[in-house]
Structure 1
Amino acid sequence: MVVVFALVALLVLAVLVTANWYVWRRLFRDTTRGPGAARRAGAVLIAGGWALAVGALVAERSGAPFPLQRALAWPGFLWLALSVYLLLALLAGEAVRPLLRWFLARRDAARADGARPAAPAPAERVPAATAPPAAPAPEPPPASGEAPPRPAAGPTRRLFVSRVVGGAAAAAAVGTVGHGTYGVLRGPRVKRVTVPLAKLPRAAHGFRIAVVSDIHLGPVLGRGFAQKVVDTVNSTQADLIAVVGDLVDGSVKDLGPAAAPLAQLSARHGAFFVTGNHEYFSGAEQWVEEVRRLGLRPLENARTELPHFDLAGVNDVAGEDEGQGPDYARALGDRDRSRACVLLAHQPVQIHDAVRHGVDLQLSGHTHGGQLWPGNLLAGAANPTVAGLERYGDTQLYVSRGAGAWGPPTRVGAPSDITVIELASRQA
C-alpha cells in the first residue's frame, strides 16, 4: 500500500512539474530573445505561486494560526485557479500557433511579390546632341572601423507568434479567474425548483425549503460573506431552511465570529443542519453545538415529524472514521412510510441508502457543480448527480451547487446558488 501511494505521489509530482515547465516555457522562454531577467522572474513567479498554494493548504489542514492562514489563502488559492486556466489557455493556443504562422507566411509572401521591381522598359534613343544628365556623386565610404547602418531588426515570426499566443492566454486566464472570483464574492443567486411528491398531501402543496450547502466559511470567506448568504436566504421567505453541510473550514475558535450571522436565519418551521465532510476536518462535535447555540437544529441521524411530511437528516460519510457516520436505521427505520419523507444528506452518493429506506426526496450538496470547469467531469465520475434534480427509482435527488467555494474563491461554469425547493402535491 505504501509503495502504491509513493508511486501515485511521484506520478502526480511529475505531472505538476511537467505542466509548470510547459507554462514557463510558453510564457517566458518562448517570448524572450535569450536568458535574462524576464525568464528568471517567470521562474520565481511560478515557483513562488506554488509555494504559497501549498502553504495555504498545509496551514488550513494543520490548524496554523488563523492570521497566517488568511495571509496565505488569498494569493495561494488564487494562484491554483490561475495556474489551471493558464495551462488550459496555453494548450488551446497550440491549435492557433500553426494557423497564425501560416497567415503570417502568406502575408509576407504577398508583400514580397508586391515589392519586386517591374521589368525595365525598352531604352529610348537619345539624340546625339543631347547630353545625358550627370550621375549623382557617390556617397563617401564610412569612416575606418565604422559599420554601415542597418535597419532595425523586428521580432522573428516564431517570436512574434509566441508573444501573441502567450499574451492572449495570460489575458484569458486572468479574465476568467477574475470573473469567477467576482461571482463568488458577489454572493449566491436564488434558484427555484418545483418537486412533485406523490405522498405529499394537498395541504402541503407549495411548501418551500431553502437549501443552502457548501458555504465554506474560512480564511477567505468570512463574516461578510455569511451575512450575504443569510440575507439572501431570508429574502426567499421559505417555510423551512436546510443547511446541508460543509458550513466551515476551520475551528469554532477561529470561525465562530464569522458564523454568527447564522443566528439571523428565519423561517416558519425553523432552520436545520446536517454535517458535511469538512465539518469532520474542523471539529464536528464543536460545530454541531455551535450551530445549535445559533438557533439551528442539528439532525444527527434523526428525524422530526412536520405537520405534513417527515424531515430526516443523516451524518456525512466522513464521520465514519470517528464513529459518527450515517445511521439510516436510526433516522428512518421506524417511520410511517405512508408519509412523504425529505432527507438531508450532504453527499449525493448517499442516495442509494435513501432509496433502500423509501425516502421521497434527498437534498444534498458537496459537488459544487464542479466549481472550476472542467472539474464537473471529475465530479461526475465520483458522484451520481453533479447538480440539479434526478430520479432514482421512487426517490428524487436534488444537488445544489453550493453557496460558497472551497480552495480558490472562484467558480467557472458552476455559479453558486441557494435553491428554493417548492414541494408540489399530485393531489392539488
Structure 2
Amino acid sequence: MSIFPNSDICETPVMTANLIKQTDFDAIIIGGGACGLMCAVQAGFLGKRTLILEKNDKVGAKILISGGGRCNYTNLYTTAQQFISENEHFCKSTLSQWTVEDTIRFFETYGIEGKEKTLGQLFPVSDKAKDVVNVFTSLCVDLGQEIWCDAEVKSIGKLDGNFIVSIERCGKTEKLSVPKVVIASGGLPIPKMGATDFGLRTARNLGLAINDTAPALVPLTITGKDQPWYEQLSGNSIFCRVWNDRVSFEENILFTHWGLSGPAILQISSYWRPGEFIYIDLLPNQNIAELIQAEREANGKKMLLAYLAGLFTRKFAEALSDKLPADKNLASLSKADIEDISNLIHEFKVKPAGDKGYDKAEVMRGGLSTDELSSKTLEVKKIPGLYFGGECVDVTGWLGGYNFQWAWASGFVIAQNL
C-alpha cells in the first residue's frame, strides 16, 4: 500500500514484489550534485552504504561549470543572512552543524587549498572545478559508495516498510528496495545540464507544500523604447550600488544588448519581482554634486561630457549625455541641472521587463517548503526515512559560494541521520 495518496506515479502494487530487487544499501541518494555527493561521502565515513542515482552521464555537472569552471566552493562570510527563504531561520541549524571551517578543513584534507578572491569567495588554488568533483568520486570509491549514472528515477513508492525506487537504466527498468531515500536532485536552472523538476514534482505528488519558484541570480532584461539605450552600452562594466526596498549590493554591473547582468544585478535579481523598479548608484561613495562644484572652481570651462568621460568610460559618458545637458560647461550648470545630474548618477531608475529565465539562472528561488522538514535532520516530518537537501529546498543563497555551502551542509546533516 503506498503512503503517497496524492501520487499517480508512486503506487507500488504488491503483485510486483517479486520483481523488486532487495538491496543492501542503507539509502538511495537521488542526484549526484554537491548535496548528494557530500551526503554519500559523509554517510560512508559513518559506515553507511549508499547508492547515488544520477540522470546525467557523470556526477557533479553543475560543480564543473560553476565559477567559470573554477568552482567558488564556499564563502568565508557565510551566515543565515545571506539566504532567502520563507523561513529565514530554517537554515541556521544546518549551517551550524557543518560550518565554513568544516568545508575548508574537509577540502584541505583531500588536497584542495583555497584562495580568497573577492568578498570572501573561496576557490581552489588550482582554479579547477574538476578537482572538487574528483575528491568526491575518489572518496566514494574508497568508501564503497556506489554511483550509477544514466539512471533516471521514474517513481518512488513504499512497500513493507521500505521505499521502492523505480529507475530506468541502460534501457531497462528496475525496482530497488531501500530503507531510506534522499532527494538531492537540484532545481530548475540550466536544463541543458540535465536539470529537471523531479524534486519539486515528487514533493508535490507526496502532498508536500511547495513555495513559489522563480529563477534567481539571473540577468534582467530591458525591452521596448529603453532597449536601444542599453544595447549601445553592451560590454560596459561599472562598479555600482544596486538596491530596492529590501536589500542593497555594491559590485559591478554589466550592460548587455538585452539588459543588465554582472554580480550586482544577479544579486538583486533574487529580491526583484516583476513590475518593480531597481535603483542604481553609478558613483557610490562619492557625491557628484560636490565633485562638479570642486571641478568647476578649478576649470569651469570644461564641458560636462568631458568631465563625465573622466569619471566613466567615454562611451558611457556619451550615453549619459543623452539624458543630461551635455552641451554646457561646468560653470554654466544651474542648480536644477546639478540636481538632475545627481538624481541620474545616484538614483538611476530601472524597471526590468523580466529575466533571462532558467537557462541563464544560477539557482532557483523557492522550492519545497521548509515547514515540511525537520530543521535538525532535513527529514520529511510526515514521511519518516525521506530527506530533501540542496537546491530543491526553499533555501537560496547569494552569489559567491553560499549555495555550495548550503549544499555541503545539507548533505552532511542528512548523512548524520540516515
Q: TM-score, normalised by structure 2?
A: 0.23
Name which one, 1 or 2, has greater alpha-carbon Rg: 1
Q: TM-score, normalised by structure 1?
A: 0.23
Task: Kindly indicate whether structure 1 or structure 2 has the higher relative contact order, using CA contacts under 8 Å at least 6 residues apart.
Answer: 2
